[in-house]
Structure 1
Amino acid sequence: MSVTPNIFCIGNPLLDISAHTDMAFIEKYGLQLGNAILAEDKHLPLYTEVKSYKVDYIPGGAAQNTARVAQWMLNKKQTVMYSGCVGNDENGRILREATEANGVVVKYLVDAEEPTGACAVLINNAERCLTTNLGAANKFKIAHLESSEMTGYINSTQYFYLVGYFMTVSPESAMMLAKHAADNNKTFLYGLAAPFLIEVDFFFERVKALIPYVDYLFANESEAACIGKKMGWGESLPVIAEKLSQWEKVNNNRSRTIIFTQGPQSTLVYQNGQLTEYKPIPLGADKIVDLNAAGDSFCGGFLAALSLGKPIAECVAAAHYAASEIIQQNGCTLPTVRALNLE
């Protein structure tokens, strides 16, 4: 093993096909702004039809976005590693080259049969809807993590991050990493992700099994409210944060920290029995280009600062900075200039 990354992100690598469209195109496919769904057969033609608009091809997938942003924030060579499954095709090569160009150590599993996953990002007035065709991303196997090379990386890593979307693909891989983190007193971070992972009992059973291993849990206000409703905790975000922090914990050497983002409103952090509000960086509407990856980049900034041992307030400040920079770009595009130095 030639490099020893300190952060390991895992998820569904996707090529984002990003376009600003009119509402008629969005409504044609029965989509809604603000939603993230898995593509059905009726959605497949949109991946071709969207090319009638100006299209940008950008590395995507929630955890891959977070990995790229964390690496950008740290500005160190090969600090972050990312894994997921891609196809043996041109889109897979585009993803690898673009992500490696950001300095991330890429360790994809390559599937010979399925094409690399794609996400149609349809944007209207800075709001977006995501329609994902997982493709090869759905073929990730735990055997990839059990190889001698990956075992070496896992043993050397101190921070593990994944997003709920991966729970639809390989929950056994998620549990393997979560248990490794707990057994070795390492840090495990988890993004709650789309409401369907909470609302659908089949998926929520997987989430409930993972939460006892989670040290840092991220959600936006709608995801938080969704789990509050599911668990019968009501709609108060502070109450939901407190309840989540008190959920069963496997590694009692670490308390569970809950982080709820609320767009331009204050971010809520519940840690060690105390709720603190942190105001994000204000941005005029004219500066916001694309809210896609806002949450992913928030997590990337937070993870970068956390890996350097920064206190919670500085972790949230780094998260707010990263998110504010990325939403001024099209998709998860990393600016060439980074004003915040974490060192």
Structure 2
Amino acid sequence: MPHVTVLGSLNYDLVVTTPVVPRGGETLHASSFATHRGGKGANQALATARAAPKSHGVKVRMVGRVGTDQFGAVLKSGLAGDGVDVSRVGVVDGASGVAVIIVEHSGENRILVCAGANDSWTPADITNSLLELDDGILTDVLVLQNELPLAVVHSALALAHSLDVTVAYNPSPIAASTSEELAMQREMLRDVVYLLVNESELQLLLGDVPAEHTTAEAMLSSAMRLQHEMAPKSTVIVTLGGQGVIYALPGTAPVLVPPYKPARVVDTTGAGDSFLGGFVGAVAAGKQIADAVRWGAAAGSIAVTRAGAEESIPFAEEIIRVVSQV
């Protein structure tokens, strides 16, 4: 039975919807306010559990930490309700992680994260038990992102590599506050099996200035550069929103997969996590890379039609309907 372990953040999301984002010193009336369970780690665990084809019995475990505030129990119970194993989600004194999200009517979002309990991790916490299941065998896939301290993510990646555990890594948000941090971030990519980035993350890793209207053709060249220069052993996957998805297996030319067009875009929050969960769930279930990429793309196209992060994440049955229509 395939097992996926997700090490990452759990956050409680506070979401404000507005026609436009206020400028400095400006006060505007928002359209609505809502709260949602979130955090990139929790979103990706939930997305993997929901997206994995049920007939393959993929099991998903979340490893993370919440605080002793009112949000912590809600974050754990939400995941457990969708079948995610939360036995390794610890509780530490203090606040849980919180994200403040501003969503424009266009669907674009801006996010501020206060790490809370997520910031309590240290490299010393990363031991073999992280990758061990209850019966003593190792997990099949470890999923990582960057909402825990970078040194912790680095230690987890190194441990997984030493034990020959497959790593799917989404370096988001990109660690680039100092040149030393960016250098560590780039070096970490060498031991990743599946590297998943969006357009802006790709450009930041390459040292390019992010552009708003880069063509898919230009991104093909950038994806090849990233693989050759920083991730030669990785399958590199670049999500381009409405332009589709690029993937490149080690030593092969990148391929552009056309997008699944959503009926409308309501909120892009959680779309990238839905893609990752769809992709990882499909890979864990034994699908080939090309099919897994399409599975993830279908998941992302569904997610943008709904508000919220966790609430927007689709189930396998919905993904099947989208994929089968093409």
Q: TM-score range by the shorter chain?
A: 0.7 to 0.9
Pick from 23, 44, 48: which aligns with 1:27? 23
Q: Aligned ranges for residues 1-343 of structure 1 at < 5 Å? A: 6-23=3-20, 26-28=22-24, 54-74=32-52, 76=54, 79-106=59-86, 107-112=88-93, 114-125=94-105, 126-146=107-127, 151-152=132-133, 155-166=137-148, 169=149, 171=151, 173-195=152-174, 197-198=175-176, 200-229=178-207, 236-247=218-229, 255-271=233-249, 272-284=251-263, 287-332=264-309, 333=311, 334-335=313-314, 338-341=317-320
Aligned-pair distance for 1:337?
Answer: 7.9
Q: 1:219 to 1:313 in 2, by over 3 A?
A: same
Q: 1:230 to 1:288 in 2, by over 3 A?
A: closer
Q: 1:293 to 1:135 in 2, by over 3 A?
A: same
Q: Distance in 1 between matches of 2:182 and 2:147?
A: 11
Aligned-pair distance for 1:145?
Answer: 4.2
In structure 2, give the amino acid aligned to 1:176. S
Q: CA RMSD in A?
A: 3.0
Aligned-pair distance for 1:266?
Answer: 2.5
Q: 1:147 to 1:246 in 2, by over 3 A?
A: closer
Q: 1:208 to 1:85 in 2, by over 3 A?
A: same
Aligned-pair distance for 1:84?
Answer: 1.7
Q: 1:14 to 1:123 in 2, by over 3 A?
A: same
Q: 1:256 to 1:150 in 2, by over 3 A?
A: closer
CA offsets per residue over residues 129-163 of structure 1, 9 Å max, x none?
A: 00111112111234544385864468520101111
Aligned-pair distance for 1:336?
Answer: 6.8
Aligned-pair distance for 1:308?
Answer: 1.4
Structure 1: which 5+ runs fail to align?
31-45
- Name the residue aligned to 1:43: none
Say which SS state the counterpart of residue 244 (structure 2) adopts: strand
CA offsets per residue over residues 205-249 of structure 1, 9 Å max, x none?
A: 331231121111111111112222269xxx843333223323467
Q: 1:216 to 1:149 in 2, by over 3 A?
A: closer
In structure 2, give the amino acid aligned to 1:14. N
Report % sequence identity. 22
CA offsets per residue over residues 12-45 of structure 1, 9 Å max, x none?
A: 2111112212435x43579xxxxxxxxxxxxxxx
Contact 2:62–2:84 (8 Å) recurs in 1: yes
Q: Distance in 2 between matches of 1:311 and 1:119?
A: 35
In structure 2, give the amino acid aligned to 1:118. V
Contact 1:302–1:315 (8 Å) recurs in 2: yes
In structure 2, give the amino acid aligned to 1:21. T
Contact 2:66–2:95 (8 Å) recurs in 1: yes
Task: Please list every run of at least 4 consecutive aligned residues from structure 1 whose deviation after the TM superposition is greater than 6 angstroms.
Answer: none
Say which SS state the counterpart of residue 264 (structure 1) adopts: helix
Q: 1:304 to 1:243 in 2, by over 3 A?
A: same
Say which SS state the counterpart of residue 115 (structure 1) adopts: coil
Aligned-pair distance for 1:127?
Answer: 1.0
Contact 1:199–1:226 (8 Å) recurs in 2: no
Structure 2: which 5+ runs fail to align?
none
Contact 2:51–2:315 (8 Å) recurs in 1: no
Q: Distance in 2 between matches of 1:29 and 1:82?
A: 40
Q: Distance in 2 between matches of 1:337 and 1:183?
A: 32
Q: Distance in 1 between matches of 2:95 and 2:108?
A: 28
- Name the residue aligned to 1:40: none
Q: Distance in 2 between matches of 1:70 and 1:258?
A: 19
CA offsets per residue over residues 94-147 of structure 1, 9 Å max, x none?
A: 1001111111112222211x2001001111121110011111211123454438
Q: 1:78 to 1:257 in 2, by over 3 A?
A: closer
Aligned length: 306
